[in-house]
Structure 1
Amino acid sequence: MKITIKQAASLSLLIAFLCIVAYSCKRDNNQTIKEAQQGVPDAVKNQIASLGYDTRNIRTVDGGYVVEGDIFLSHNSLNQKSTSPVLRVANSEQFQTTCLITGLPRTLTVSVTGLPSGYESATDIAIARYNALGLRISFVRVSSGGMIDIQYASLGAGALGQSAGFPDCSTGNPPSPIKLNSDANALGSSPDQNYLATVIAHEIGHTIGFRHTDYFNRAYSCGGFPYNEGQAGVGAINIPGTPTTADPNSWMLSCIGNGVNRPFNANDIIALRYLYQ
């Protein structure tokens, strides 16, 4: 979902094929990577690395940067200091960020703006998956002005969605908007409903404080280089009770195949209930 893989030129076509079905698993050749990095100061890269994010294929956008394919970091967020404990090198447990949604029990509103009607139905499916767990955080779709607004945006090739980041540490509110890629052939005007619901549920997961299940090695779901951010991964805190072995069906895996449906599995439910029940 999030990474750019440097590969030999002879493998570039294969990489492009593997990534077209991923959330944001964009892989380019070395020249494209160099172009993507132009204009990002070394000091910014160091700040991003200190927060525990992959510094390859950073994209400069209005108000900040996009890292790992679908995570927005504002200029202000780069200066935030984490209060989380020192992290060990991860396995494949579920991970939370330092800050979570607060003021529980709480209902978060979700709106869908400028998208085909099928996207509203898929959003309802994603919301129902969360609400079925009886958590102290729930969701309801509203016609407009939701705390989390789902929009279309041109994100370029290889990405399906992009969250606006993680919960605000000072307010305990979710970030907004969630952007779904208008350039992605895998989405379009009438994608498979459960597949789209999985994409939306994944991005909502980021907004309430979940990192990727394969944060330690996004090659697990995306293929390619086995990148591990290790103990520098501030803001990726292991959720107790989740597995230390590979979890092939988690809704928070970095990448997903076209048309794949990933409702919450048993380990996902453990993680969600640990944080919000």
Structure 2
Amino acid sequence: MKKQLLFKMGVCIVCASSLLTACTKNNQGADKKATSKTVISADVAQKIKNLGFSADNVRKMGSNYIVEGDIMLTPANLSEANTTSPVLRVAETEQYQTHNLVKNLPRTITVSVSNLPTVYATATANAVARYNALNLTLQFQIVSSGGDMVITGFDEGVDSDGFITLGYSGFPTASGDPYNAIGMNTNADAYGSNPDVGYLTSVIQHEMGHCIGMRHTDYFNRNLSCGVNGGGNEGSTYNSSDPQDYPGAVHIPGTPTKTFDAGSWMLACSSGTDRTFNANDKIALNYLY
């Protein structure tokens, strides 16, 4: 998830898959040393594209890559890239899923928080409660350690474009297991020195959405939630003459295809508020799970 802070204008705009999958924030004019852009090889860029993601503004984290603001791709993910991408008919806007979903339903996924302040554990419990309140065939349970999803912290400042990553996660495996990790940025520029529990809840809720197969609602134009520097279309294979010609995403029946859902919890960027599921989000999750 992303967040963008325009300090010079005194305006705060947050980019999360709800305005955040890594959530980032833009600190233009901040007196911080910006993290330099990642230079990736042509081979890696092509593999990212073949998986249906944008190869623009890719960031390296260890041996992994973060794409589209908050989505973690591992070397194993890249090795799964085909030489050509499947082209699917997808929504022009609105909720959509990845190719991989969590299998073996009904199922309970355990979630644990490791080495983070209490407010993060509280926010995680709140996010889990929000999912469980939907009575899906996919349920979540908090455990003290070793969860199917483990939430940890990382400390990373502002990048060269003025964005800061709020959190990151990934997508389910081909075998049908949820992505097993969520990272939350503990840098003070991300959430401040006293993080708001509601805001943290919404970011964790968003990242959990990626872990079970949800992509960004506004993939066709990230500027809608992230502002003019939000990154435009997710994926260089996006065809502006045919907005539904896009790989890696499948429209969920029952959700809109012609309107921008400004309240979705899976928008690419966050408004900096406590945003939870809206009516269309609930339709999407109930259809899938």
User: How does the TM-score come out when normalised to structure 1?
Assistant: 0.84
Name the counterpart of 1:7.
none
Aligned sequence identity (%): 48
Distance 1:92 1:14, change over 3 A: farther
CA distance in 1, matches of 2:186, 2:35: 25
2:167 to 153, 156, 161: 161
In 2, are the aligned partners of 1:3 and 1:69 still within 8 Å (CA)?
no
- C-alpha displacement at 1:88, in angstroms? 3.7
- C-alpha displacement at 1:167, in angstroms? 0.4
The one-letter code matched in structure 2 to 1:80 is E
Q: Which runs of 5+ in 1 are unaligned?
A: 5-11
Name the counterpart of 2:275.
262
Distance 1:81 1:50, change over 3 A: closer
- C-alpha displacement at 1:17, in angstroms? 6.1
Partner of 1:159, secondary structure, is strand
Name the counterpart of 1:192.
196
Name the counterpart of 2:161.
none
CA distance in 1, matches of 2:3, 2:64: 18
More contact order relative to length (CA 8 Å, sep ≥ 6): 2
The one-letter code matched in structure 1 to 2:253 is P
Q: How does 1:185-224 map to 2 (within 5 A)?
A: 185-188=189-192, 190-224=194-228
CA distance in 1, matches of 2:3, 2:99: 22
Partner of 1:257, secondary structure, is coil
The one-letter code matched in structure 2 to 1:50 is N
CA distance in 2, matches of 1:169, 1:106: 17
User: How does the TM-score come out when normalised to structure 2?
Assistant: 0.81
Partner of 1:36, secondary structure, is coil
In 1, are the aligned partners of 2:94 and 2:256 still within 8 Å (CA)?
yes
CA distance in 1, matches of 2:69, 2:223: 14
Deviations 1:8-55 (A, max 9, x none): xxxx97799656x333345699xx9995242x1111111111222121
Distance 1:62 1:194, change over 3 A: same
- C-alpha displacement at 1:266, in angstroms? 0.3
CA distance in 2, matches of 1:180, 1:235: 25
The one-letter code matched in structure 1 to 2:265 is W
1:243 to 256, 259, 265: 256
Aligned-residue CA RMSD (Å): 2.9
Number of positions where the alignment pairs a residue of Structure 1 with one of Structure 2: 262
Q: How does 1:105-124 map to 2 (within 5 A)?
A: 105-124=106-125
The one-letter code matched in structure 1 to 2:143 is V
Deviations 1:226-256 (A, max 9, x none): 6223267432111111112110111101111
Deviations 1:89-148 (A, max 9, x none): 642110101011111000000001111111111111111111011100000111111110
Whose helix proportion is higher, 1 or 2?
1
In 1, are the aligned partners of 2:25 and 2:190 still within 8 Å (CA)?
no
Distance 1:156 1:92, change over 3 A: same
- C-alpha displacement at 1:72, in angstroms? 1.0
CA distance in 1, matches of 2:88, 2:167: 28
CA distance in 2, matches of 1:156, 1:166: 24
The one-letter code matched in structure 2 to 1:77 is N
Whose strand proportion is higher, 1 or 2?
2
Q: How does 1:228-239 map to 2 (within 5 A)?
A: 228=233, 229=235, 230=238, 233-239=246-252
CA distance in 2, matches of 1:234, 1:134: 30
Query: Do residues 22 (structure 1) and 15 (structure 2) align?
Result: yes
- C-alpha displacement at 1:60, in angstroms? 2.0
